[in-house]
Structure 1
């Protein structure tokens, strides 16, 4: 799966499930501050990503993941 498909799926999920405005979704957007995802939202996001991409994510995977770009890179790495 190429990076553009990964980004599109994640962005669509953020828009559909978390009602994030499309213009707020940028690679440098902070997951907690800009996108206003709380801990429960983050758990929901992880579950959905695991189901959509067939990957398993654990807490240590998120060390240093603060921006949407970090998250895209993490999912790309897990798939690859």
Structure 2
């Protein structure tokens, strides 16, 4: 299976397969996930690391879809 098909199967939108997109979406996803988590629970870095490893793929794919949707509306959070 080629990389584009693998990315689509994992929830990565077309046009967001680059390393730049991966880094941007990972940073934004981590920031929002951690903010939401700490709003509900006390800080626990060990537990957060374990939970993030489990939830990161879906969360990052959601962030990529959201960023891609914003881009289609003309809003960009990255250099072009």
Larger radius of gyration: 2
Question: Greater helix share, 1 or 2?
Answer: 2
* TM-score for both structures, normalised by structure 1: 0.30
TM-score with structure 2 setting the length = 0.30
